[in-house]
Structure 1
Amino acid sequence: MIDQATIDKIMDAAQIVDVVSEFVTLRRRGVNYIGLCPFHNEKTPSFSVSPSKGVCKCFSCGKGGNVVHFIMEHEQLSYYEALKWLAKKYNIEIKERELTDEEKQAHSLRESLFVVNQFASEYFQDILYNNIDGQRIGMTYLRGRGFRDDIIKKFQLGYSTDNRDALARAALQKGYKEDFLVKTGLCYRKEDGTLRDRFWGRVIFPVHTISGKIVAFGGRVLSAATKNVQMKYVNSPESEIYHKSKELYGIFFAKQAIVRQDRCFLVEGYTDVISMHQSGIENVVASSGTALTSDQIRLIHRFTNNITVLYDGDGAGIKASIRGIDMLLEEGMNIKVCLLPDGDDPDSFARKHNATDYQAYINDHEVDFIRFKTNLLLEEAGKDPIKRAALISSIVKSISVIPDAIVRSVYIRECSQLLQMEEKILIEATSKLIEQARETKFKEQQRKKEREQRMTETPAVQPSVPDTPTNEPQATDTTPDLNNNTPLPPEPTPANTYTSYIPAEGNEQKVFYAKEEDLVRMLIRYGEKTMCYIENNEGEQVPYTVIECIATGLKEDELQFHDPIHRQILQECEAHQHDPNFIAERHFIAHPDPNVSKLAADLVNDRYQLSKYHSKGQKIVTDEERLYELIPRLLLDFKLSIIEEEMKNTLQALTDPIVAQDSQRCMEIMKHYKELQETQSIMAQQAGDRVVLKL
């Protein structure tokens, strides 16, 4: 792990205009720079770079952030990989924390396996280009498949001769250990202890991670070497660095195109990916003949919500592969299916068509997965009532995992027409499955909560933390007042104690969320700034900061931010507000957590200025000049909106059938609702008749 001092050094050295200019042509506009966005196709520049703040943002697609986020997005790297990229550019030595002996050993093993795989890849490529058999057999085969030399080189294809221990001997001569050759799967030991190459007599397809490291190989036997060989393809076995269920072939070469096109094509094999690249379609990956796994889905979901599965028309293969696609639906991805003409697979079809024709065919023939699955199973079921019943159950199960209620409703209506069945029956069946899934999830959460409670129970007396916020007003008024003594804010409350009936996700369009984000924006931009001066218990005038006002204002009503990242930001503000030279904006833009730093970079952008207005028609008054007025208004608006949302979801919780059967739980929820009503009434009195601030 990179230590914070090194991260700060990298952030100080990395000039965002310098970095972005490597990928985007920029021209100056005022104090900023603009250019065409590298993340989507556009003709009018909307990508803005601010050298003073060290952030960039596309005001069309919304992507941007600080210099690390730009490299993460453009090069599709992890946070620490992006830091290392910048460190290399600016010749900064990476200092990582001291690892334990076990971590050092594991890290050393992984790095050794990567090194051995890199050697093997270069060895296979050397054989392909410089060995007689490599040229005569390997290269002849690849060119016979229609692969151009530049594509062969791009995918680092290689060849292994019929000599069954050639790689092993070459590696040992170079000083690589036998143990590493076996652990990577490049070789295996025979009964007599000698090493044997796994991929002899085959064309080699290296498998790359998302960052470009080689983790495995696939080898295809050639027709001239098929004697006594049972399998056409041999793949590397699972190892310390390779887990087949977590890798997608071609993802390293496709990631930028997937982001740019906002769509991913999924095919089955190595040659399908390579041929489509050669035809000009680069946003394509392969599952390498296996059913999709949740890890592979998450890998695709990092780049796009849209996926099109290409099938070659083999009915048996289609039926086998659609079983795992429900997981894609559950992730909320938009799935389409395209059947290629009879006799063609993605590889052969790509060799016959250019990118424009290929893309046009897909656009004309792709259909939504649910419709595709319904038509496919209908054709199979025919008039058999038992098969039709099984078909309906299968379709309903697929629809039930879709998280968006509107999308579910559309599919139910369409399937009702296709299946010639009453829509009401399908709705009831879908609702039943959803309820069963919700009940199962609820029970799992309860069991998890019980386990956590048992683990935290200790004989010692612990300070009690209420399970649900009581929202009772505090006896002491802690709002800033120039004429009254005001106690300093209490110590920060752990951000993980927050309990709410509001759903954890999907609140971005809610009123309370926008107001919460406004407060977080003020924390990041002006957190350490003094709003006003107040008199403490000793009669001294002390500065009262934005951080203190927001933190105290929330605690007096036992409220917290709903979003966990927002809670983390407030907690860190409280923890560091008295540190010398603490500046919230600088602290969070350079934060080691990429989610926090990305949010901070978005919120400090000048386009998000809350308001600038003329005071009495004379001058422009900025937010910073009226913090004493702006912060309390924003704070009260947020409190009212989140209590309103909490009340709505609290009532909704009472409609849960599981809760309805638990009288004690019902009483707890009703008590919570009553407390919220009381708090809302008090706040409404505080608000009086004032007009709620509109942003």
Structure 2
Amino acid sequence: MISQNSISQVFETARVEEVIGDFVQLKKAGSNFKGLSPFSEERTPSFMVSPVKQIWKDFSTGKGGNAITFLMEHEHFTYPEAIRYLAKKYNIEIEETERTDEEKEQANAKESLYLVSEYANEYFQKVLQKTDQGQAIGKSYFKERGFTEDTIKKFQLGYSLDEWQAFTDDALGKGYKLEFLEKTGLTIVKDERRFDRFKGRVMFPIHSMSGRVLGFGGRILTNDKKAAKYLNSPESDIYHKSNVLYGLYFAKQTISKEDNCFLVEGYTDVIQFYQTGVKNVVSSSGTALTSQQIRLINRLTNNITVLFDGDAAGIRASIRGIDLILEQGMNVKVCTFPDGEDPDSFAKSNTLEELTEYLNENAKDFIQFKASLLVKEANNDPIKKAETIRDIVNSIAKIPDAIKREIYVRECASIMDISESVLFTTLAQIGKKEAQEANKQYKQEQRAFEVVKSEQQKKPRVDVQYELERKIIEILMLYGDRVEQFEDLILKEDEASGDLILEPAMHEARVFEKIYLDLQEDEMMFSNEKFRELYYAIIDRLNQDENFSTKDFINQLDQKHATEVTSILMEDEKYNLHDWERNHIVPKEKEHSISQLVSQTILSLRCHLIDLKVDEYKHDIIREGVNTKSILEDVRDYSNLKKLLSLKLGKVIS
């Protein structure tokens, strides 16, 4: 267990904008930061981080919370794991006890897969560093590649003994279950036999963005033609190849800082580049690039430079996948190395200055690169040239930005010696075809929607009481400890006419006291259980703590209530996403009229509750055997009260 003192220290030290900035590229938006949602596919930012309130809100999915909840949502950490991650990030020494066998037993299945993977990572590193076989075979291979001891430790490289079940036996002996060894793919079970998947291979652990070990890549060092040169962990509950980029954990901060990401093919390409000094580099690990992997990069930068070997055939095969990057609206450059060179060998034989200079001078815009490459291959063959033109225009059509499309059309027309009008016509034809297909898809979705709509004929009405109770929680969280001047309109009887009149009276009070006393006066209760629990928790804290802190209060709530409070507090921040001030639209600040806001909200709630009571009486009148005269008198009294409250409400609004 982690001590409460350690947890408090983590909460006090961690900055939500710094934590989330490791996973999402954040840009300043007033007093807040905004970025692309890491939980959905989007091109327009709907993700907001508030450094002042130390909370975040994703308006595309409704998720929100503090630094801890972000890690739990994004990295699927448990609460203790999120605390440990932040403690490591901020160099905080935490007090905790070792996991007992009983605690290991209680860990859920997914967590068990992480535990097994972490153990395997430590085991393979230990074998590499501490055994004769690891030193003679594994360490020798890495040294031949030119990797330094620091690099080997940085990337946690290891070695799996060339024995059938050395790792499996060791893991079972340490109490790890065969079930989870098999599910991670570390152990293969066949006909009641079990053996190590990565027998006799050097090991490359594959990390999540937060540094958790998800799986492994293993390279064989013998010339066994029947065995695959590289072997990856199979898909599991924690490892999905299409969602992972090798090296992203080590590269993410530099990618964001440099605003560019170099994309290579293999593990050693990444490591060699990093060791040379180019740290914003990742790899798709030999698999075809996926849209999920591109979105991981897009959270950190809008610029990708794809690095190819000098092999022309390999380039042709690889550039097909780059259309996916263009579809995401990203800027793509391509850099090829001389014949016989790859990113690994080139970085190994050059200094940082030489490598940087080569990348800067040889990185070309992807569309221009593709046009030049394909036109050269087409030579004077008119049929091939026509196919080439269509291929290039197809790539241009993937780009969502109309201005970029037009610029590329003009440049490609010059490269391919063809009129711009022909290219624009071809582009329009492709666009028309895609529009028709999209329209067809839309109609199918609409038909499905109509079926659902017919089942839900009536649109749900706005729950007025829910919204008003939510507004009260917001006011208490933002301004509960403020002292304000309130104008109350007191009901008095006119001595001359005998009618009830409103007489203004000013008094000073803290906002939470005003709200509490007004609700108590009319015996108004929250109908929403979650809001009711929050209301009493906030009132209690404000009564006890003169220096009320929104951040501290949220940090001490359970996840359910913390998420609700965050959602309430960040509701107004979404307007910053649209840059209203730049368009000369300035929303009125609540701070300028807090007393009015409080009074208006309480009066609106009173009026709503009166309406509910009158509706209840109306239903009673329909029933037989009730005293209609008595009910009508009550309705009249409530109607008069509603009229007076409406006058108050009008006074507040004006």
Question: What band does the TM-score fall into relative to the shorter chain?
Answer: 0.5 to 0.7
Cα pair 1:156 1:205 within 8 Å, conserved: yes
Higher deviation after alignment, 432-441 or 137-146 = 432-441
Listed as ranges, the gaps of 5+ residues in structure 2 are 36-47, 57-65, 97-103, 469-473, 492-499, 506-527, 543-548, 556-561, 582-587, 598-654
Aligned residue runs from structure 1 range 341-380, under 5 A: 341-380=338-377
Residue equivalent to 1:164 = 164
Give distance in 1, aligned partners of 2:17 and 2:328: 35
Mapped contact 1:401–1:434 kept (Cα < 8 A): no
- Asked if 1:438 is matched to 2:435, the reply is yes
Contact 2:33 2:50 (C-alpha < 8 Å) held by counterparts: yes
Name the aligned partner's letter for residue 458 of structure 2: P
Greater share of helix residues, 1 or 2?
Answer: 2
In structure 2, what is the Cα distance between the partners aligned to 1:400 and 1:109? 45
In 1: Cα distance, 2:182 partner to 2:11 partner: 45
TM-aligned CA deviation for residue 493 of structure 1: 8.9
The alpha-carbon deviation at position 188 of structure 1 amounts to 1.6
- The DSSP-based 3-state class of the residue aligned with 2:418 is coil
Aligned equivalents of 1:332, 1:260: Cα separation in 2: 20
Residue 199 of structure 1: aligned partner: 198
In 2, the alpha carbon distance for the partners of 1:626 and 1:108 equals: 50
Q: Deviations over 1:194-249 (max 9, x none)?
A: 11222111111111111212121111111xx2245442111112222222111111
Aligned in 2, Cα 1:596/1:286: closer, same or farther, shift over 3 Å?
Answer: farther
Q: CA deviation at 1:160?
A: 1.6
Relative distance call for 1:627 and 1:108 in structure 2 (3 A) is closer
- Secondary structure of the residue aligned to 2:108 is helix
Q: Counterparts in 2 of 1:324-403, with a 5 A limit?
A: 324-403=321-400
Tell me, in whole angstroms, the C-alpha distance in 2 between the residues paired with 1:348 and 1:76.
40
1:317 aligns with 2:284: no
The correspondence of residues 225-244 of structure 1 with structure 2, limited to 5 A, is: 225-227=222-224, 229-244=226-241
Letter matched to residue 591 of structure 2: E
Q: What is the rounded CA distance, in whole Å, between the counterparts of 2:422 and 2:393 in structure 1?
A: 10
After superposition, give the CA deviation of every residue in 1:353-410 in whole Å (9 maximum; x if it has no partner): 2333212211111011111111111111111111111111111111111111111111
Residue 19 of structure 1 is aligned with which of 14, 28, 32? 14
Alignment partner of 1:427 out of 424, 433, 444: 424
Deviations 1:174-206 (A, max 9, x none): 232323222211122344x31122211111111
SS at match of 2:563: coil
Specify the SS of the correspondent of 1:159. Answer: strand
Tell me the amino acid that sits aligned with residue 74 of structure 2.
Answer: S
Evaluate the alpha carbon distance shift between residue 358 and residue 628 of structure 1 in structure 2; reply closer, same or farther with a 3 A threshold.
Answer: same
- Alpha-carbon spacing, 1:167–1:406, altered in 2? closer, same or farther (3 Å): same
Cα distance in 2 between the residues matched to 1:48 and 1:387 = 50
What is the CA–CA distance in structure 2 between the aligned matches of 1:450 and 1:10, rounded to whole Å? 56
| 3-state DSSP of counterpart to 1:282 | coil
Please give the alpha-carbon distance, in whole angstroms, between the structure 2 residues aligned to 1:57 and 1:462: 37
- In structure 2, give the amino acid aligned to 1:219: G
Distance 1:259 1:77, change over 3 A: farther
Specify the SS of the correspondent of 1:592: helix
Within 5 Å, which residues of 2 pair with 1:186-585?
Answer: 186-191=186-191, 193-222=192-221, 225-227=222-224, 229-458=226-455, 462-463=457-458
Shift of 1:331: 0.4
Deviations 1:14-42 (A, max 9, x none): 666x4359989xxxxxxxxxxxx9999xx
How far does residue 445 in structure 1 lie from its aligned partner after superposition?
3.1
How has the CA–CA distance of structure 1 residues 271 and 456 changed in structure 2, closer, same or farther, with 3 Å as cutoff?
Answer: same
> Partner residue of 2:134?
134
1:91-110 alignment, distance < 5 Å:
108-110=108-110
Distance verdict in 2 for CA 1:462–1:598, change over 3 Å: closer
Task: Select between 407-416 and 233-242 the one with higher mean Cα deviation.
Answer: 233-242
Q: How many residues align?
A: 497
DSSP-derived class of the 2:14 partner:
helix
Is the contact between residue 76 and residue 210 of structure 1 (CA under 8 Å) also seen in structure 2?
A: no
Do the aligned partners of residues 22 and 599 (structure 1) sit closer, same or farther apart at CA in structure 2, a change above 3 Å counting? closer
Residue 241 of structure 1 aligns to a residue in which SS?
coil
SS at match of 1:176: coil
In 1, Cα distance between the equivalents of 2:464 and 2:565?
29
**Over residues 635-688 of structure 1, what are the superposed CA-to-partner deviations in whole Å (9 max), with x where a residue is unaligned?**
xxxxxxxxxxxxxxxxxxxxxxxxxxxxxxxxxxxxxxxxxxxxxxxxxxxxxx
CA distance in 1 between partners of 2:415 and 2:137 (Å): 52
8 Å CA contact 1:330, 1:401 repeated in 2: yes
Higher relative contact order (CA 8 A, sep 6+): 2
Maintained 8 Å contact 1:15/1:67: no
Q: Deviations over 1:94-147 (max 9, x none)?
A: xxxxxxxxxx99982222222222222222111111111111111111111110
Distance 2:75 2:291 in 1: 22
Following superposition, the deviation at residue 522 of structure 1 comes to 12
Judging changes above 3 Å, is the alpha-carbon distance between structure 1 residues 408 and 526 closer, same or farther for their aligned structure 2 residues?
farther
Question: 1:258–1:531: structure 2 CA closer, same or farther, 3 Å change rule?
Answer: farther
One-letter code aligned to 1:277: Y
Assess if the C-alpha contact under 8 Å between 2:264 and 2:282 holds in 1.
yes
Query: Could you tell me which amino acid in structure 2 is paired with residue 120 of structure 1?
Result: A
Cα distance in 1 between the residues matched to 2:238 and 2:75: 20
* Secondary structure of 2:285 counterpart: coil
Q: Residue deviations 1:134-176, cap 9 Å, x none?
A: 1111111111111000110111111122212211222222232
> What is the identity, as a one-letter code, of the residue corresponding to 2:117?
N
Deviation at 1:324, TM superposition (A): 1.2
Q: 2:23 touches 2:299 (CA, 8 Å); kept in 1?
A: no
Q: Which amino acid aligns with 1:368?
A: D
Unaligned runs of 5+ residues in structure 1 are 1-8, 25-36, 41-45, 94-103, 467-488, 495-520, 544-571, 611-620, 631-695
Q: Over residues 447-474 of structure 1, what are the superposed CA-to-partner deviations in whole Å (9 max), with x where a residue is unaligned? A: 223323313434xx953589xxxxxxxx
For residues 464 and 67 of structure 1, the distance between their equivalents in structure 2, rounded to whole angstroms, comes to: 36
Q: Residues of 2 paired with 1:337 and 1:346: CA distance?
A: 13
CA contact (8 A) 2:55 2:566 kept: no
SS at 2:389 equivalent? helix
Residues 594/304 of structure 1: CA separation in 2 closer, same or farther (3 Å cut): farther
Confirm or deny: 8 A CA contact 1:72 1:78 kept in the other structure.
Answer: no
Q: Provide closer, same or farther for how the CA distance between residues 178 and 313 of structure 1 changes in structure 2, counting only shifts above 3 A.
A: same
Contact 2:128/2:138 (<8 A) preserved: yes
Amino acid in the other structure paired with 2:563: P
Q: What is the distance in 1 between the residues matched to 2:501 and 2:140?
A: 90
CA distance 1:324–1:182, change in 2 (3 Å): same
Indicate which of 592, 595, 607 corresponds to 2:563.
592
Amino acid at match of 2:372: N
* 1:691 alignment partner in structure 2: none
Preserved contact between residue 308 and residue 336 of structure 1 (Cα < 8 Å): yes
**2: distance between equivalents of 1:241 and 1:82?**
14
CA RMSD between the two structures: 5.3
Q: Structure 2: how far apart are the matches of 1:76 and 1:313?
A: 43
**What's the CA shift string for 1:300-329, capped at 9, x where partnerless?**
111111110011111111111111111110
Q: Give the distance between the partners of 2:430 and 2:476, measured in 1 at CA.
A: 44
TM-score of the aligned structures, taking structure 2 as reference length: 0.63
Q: Relative to 1, partners in 2 of residues 1:74 and 1:303: Cα closer, same or farther, differing over 3 Å?
A: farther
Q: Distance in 1 between matches of 2:106 and 2:440?
A: 37
Letter in 2 for 1:226: N
Give secondary structure in 2 for the equivalent of 1:112.
helix
